[in-house]
Structure 1
Amino acid sequence: MDKYSFLNAAHTAYFADLYDQYLQNPDSVEPSWRAFFQGYDFGSESYGMKGEIVAGVSTQIPEHLQKEFQVVKLIDAYRTRGHLFTKTNPVRERRQYTPTLELENFGLSNADMNTVFDAGEILGIGSRTLSDILDHLNNIYCESIGIEYMYIRNPENIKWIQNWLNVNDNHPKFDTEQKKHILKKLNEAVSFENFLHTKYVGQKRFSLEGGESLIPALDVIIEKAAGYGVKEFVMGMAHRGRLSTLTNIFGKSAKDIFSEFDGKDYEEEVFDGDVKYHLGWTSDRLTNNGNKINLNIAPNPSHLETVGSVVEGI
Structure 2
Amino acid sequence: MNDLRAFYGPNAGYVLELYDRYRDDPAAVDAETRSFFDEINPASLNGVAVSTASRPATQPSTEATADVPGIVAAALLTRAIREFGFLDVQLSPLGDKPHGAPELDPTWHGTTAENLSTLPATAVPSPVAAGAANAAEAIERLRAIYCDAIGYDFDHVQIAEERAWLGDAVECSRFAQPMGAEAKRKMLARLTDVEGFETFLHQTYLGQKRFSIEGTDALVPMLDQIIQGAAAGGTREIVMGMAHRGRLNVLTHILGKSYAAILTAFEGGQRRAGTAASDSSDDGVTGDVKYHLGARLARTADGNVVSVPLVLAPNPSHLEFVNPVVEGMARASQDTRDAPGAPTQDTTASLAIVLHGDAAFPGQGIVAETLNLSGLPGYRVGGTIHIIVNNQIGFTTDIRDARSTLFAGDLAKGFEIPIVHVNADDPEACMIAARLAIAYRAKFGKDFLIDLVGYRRWGHNEGDEPAFTQPRMYAVITKHPTVRALWAKQLVDE
TM range, normalised to the smaller chain?
A: 0.7 to 0.9
Structure 2 residues without counterparts, runs of 5 or longer: 1-5, 19-25, 46-66, 276-283, 330-494
Which residue number corresponds to residue 102 of structure 1?
A: 105
Superposed CA deviations along residues 51-103 of structure 1, whole A, max 9, x for unmatched, are: xxx98438776642222222222122211221121123354242434435111
Measure the CA separation in 2 of the matches of 1:250 and 1:264: 21
Q: CA RMSD in A?
A: 3.2
Counterpart selection for 2:289 from 268, 275, 281: 275
Pick which of 166-175 and 186-195 moved more: 166-175
Q: Is 1:183 the equivalent of 2:188?
A: yes
Which residue number corresponds to residue 28 of structure 1?
A: none
Superposed CA deviations along residues 279-304 of structure 1, whole A, max 9, x for unmatched, are: 21111111221331010111222453
Measure the CA separation in 2 of the matches of 1:258 and 1:224: 31
The amino acid across from 1:157 in the alignment is: E
Q: Is 1:255 the equivalent of 2:229?
A: no
Pick which of 299-308 and 235-244 moved more: 299-308
Q: Counterparts in 2 of 1:112-127, with a 5 A limit?
A: 112-117=115-120, 118-126=122-130
Q: Counterparts in 2 of 1:212-251, with a 5 A limit?
A: 212-251=217-256
Which residue number corresponds to residue 300 of structure 1?
A: 315
Which residue number corresponds to residue 442 of structure 2?
A: none
- Alpha carbons of structure 1 residues 303 and 130: separation in structure 2 relative to 1, 3 Å: farther
TM-score (norm 2): 0.50
- Residue 113 of structure 1 aligns to a residue in which SS? helix
Q: Counterparts in 2 of 1:58-207, with a 5 A limit?
A: 63=45, 64-117=67-120, 118-126=122-130, 129-168=134-173, 171-207=176-212
Which residue number corresponds to residue 324 of structure 2?
A: 309
Identical amino acids, percent of aligned pairs: 35
The answer as to whether partners of 1:36 and 1:69 remain within 8 angstroms in 2 is: no
The answer as to whether partners of 2:297 and 2:310 remain within 8 angstroms in 1 is: yes
The amino acid across from 1:255 in the alignment is: A
Q: How far has the Cα of 1:192 moved from its partner?
A: 0.8
Q: Is 1:265 the equivalent of 2:275?
A: no
- Alpha carbons of structure 1 residues 255 and 193: separation in structure 2 relative to 1, 3 Å: same
Aligned residues: 273
Structure 1 residues without counterparts, runs of 5 or longer: 1-22, 24-33, 45-53
The answer as to whether partners of 1:140 and 1:171 remain within 8 angstroms in 2 is: no
Which residue number corresponds to residue 382 of structure 2?
A: none
Q: Is 1:284 the equivalent of 2:298?
A: yes
Measure the CA separation in 2 of the matches of 1:176 and 1:98: 37
Measure the CA separation in 1 of the matches of 2:194 and 2:98: 30
Measure the CA separation in 1 of the matches of 2:15 and 2:133: 17
Q: Which structure ranks higher in relative contact order (CA pairs < 8 Å, sequence separation ≥ 6)?
A: 2
The answer as to whether partners of 1:83 and 1:142 remain within 8 angstroms in 2 is: yes
Measure the CA separation in 2 of the matches of 1:203 and 1:129: 59
- Alpha carbons of structure 1 residues 39 and 115: separation in structure 2 relative to 1, 3 Å: farther
The answer as to whether partners of 1:227 and 1:291 remain within 8 angstroms in 2 is: no
- Alpha carbons of structure 1 residues 84 and 264: separation in structure 2 relative to 1, 3 Å: farther
- Residue 277 of structure 1 aligns to a residue in which SS? coil
The amino acid across from 1:166 in the alignment is: E
Q: Is 1:57 the equivalent of 2:25?
A: no
Which residue number corresponds to residue 53 of structure 2?
A: none
Q: How far has the Cα of 1:246 moved from its partner?
A: 0.8
Measure the CA separation in 2 of the matches of 1:170 and 1:136: 17
- Residue 311 of structure 2 aligns to a residue in which SS? strand
- Residue 158 of structure 2 aligns to a residue in which SS? coil
The answer as to whether partners of 1:246 and 1:281 remain within 8 angstroms in 2 is: yes
Q: Counterparts in 2 of 1:19-58, with a 5 A limit?
A: 35-37=9-11, 56-57=28-29
The answer as to whether partners of 1:136 and 1:169 remain within 8 angstroms in 2 is: no
- Alpha carbons of structure 1 residues 69 and 291: separation in structure 2 relative to 1, 3 Å: farther
The answer as to whether partners of 1:237 and 1:300 remain within 8 angstroms in 2 is: yes
Runs (4+) of structure 1 moved beyond 6 Å?
Answer: none
The answer as to whether partners of 1:139 and 1:170 remain within 8 angstroms in 2 is: no
Measure the CA separation in 2 of the matches of 1:304 and 1:78: 36
Higher helix share: 1
Q: How far has the Cα of 1:128 moved from its partner?
A: 5.2
The answer as to whether partners of 2:12 and 2:72 remain within 8 angstroms in 1 is: no
TM-score (norm 1): 0.76
Measure the CA separation in 1 of the matches of 2:91 and 2:197: 24
- Residue 314 of structure 2 aligns to a residue in which SS? coil
Pick which of 179-188 and 295-304 moved more: 295-304
